[in-house]
Amino acid sequence: MLNIQTARKLLPVIALTSCCVAIAPIGVRADSLPGFTLFSGVEPSNQLSYRLDSGNRNTTDRYTLNIPGSKINRLGAAQIQITYPEYYKGKFDDKAVEVFVGEKLIPVQAVQWDRENHTLQIDLAQRVKTKGEIKVVLNNVQNPDGGGMYYFTCNVKSSSEFPLARYVGTWILSID
């Protein structure tokens, strides 16, 4: 049986614990996956996952764009091309692009942001042959003033010997 003295000691602890549990989820707001998309025009098998640290319009953000290892063929990847729509008015920091395979940072040789053709081209210092997931991290991205859905398309080149880029998939980014 619970006596009055014990109940008085436990009441503040229970009150504090319930407040912490109620407040904790408020700080979490990041898009982590494309979710369930109806009528996107992109086959579900070609929809790539992503994570936005903020996902809010007119803020500085970090985009983590995932490429499954199953999408990279035996020739690997030497260059990653990201094409975005003309109506996307965000800004990229081409000096703050990172590429990871698992937890390993892959050296980036050059990043070219072609504003006129709406393309971000990432040349890797070495060709990546992996079955693991490749993560392209775009740091210091200035999100556009207007929210919306933005289709970022990913193409990969294996090497200069095979100059044709092959379609890997599409990230359907949602900015609030």
CATH code at 30-175: 2.60.40.3490
Closest CA to 68 of 131, 156, 133, 128: 133
Model's pTM, two decimal places?
Answer: 0.77
How far is Cα 57 from Cα 65, in angstroms, rounded to an integer?
A: 18
How far is Cα 148 from Cα 106, in angstroms, rounded to an integer?
A: 31
The pLDDT value given to residue 18: 55
Length of the chain: 176
Give residue 32's pLDDT band: very low, low, confident or very high (50, 70, 90): very low
Average pLDDT over residues 100-121: 95
Give residue 1's pLDDT band: very low, low, confident or very high (50, 70, 90): low
Given a cut of 60, whether residue 112 has pLDDT beyond it is: yes
The pLDDT value given to residue 6: 62
Ordered by start, the domain boundaries in the chain are 30-175
How far is Cα 169 from Cα 131, in angstroms, rounded to an integer?
A: 16
Q: What rounded mean pLDDT belongs to the chain?
A: 83
Least confident interval from 24-33, 62-71, 123-132, 140-149? 24-33
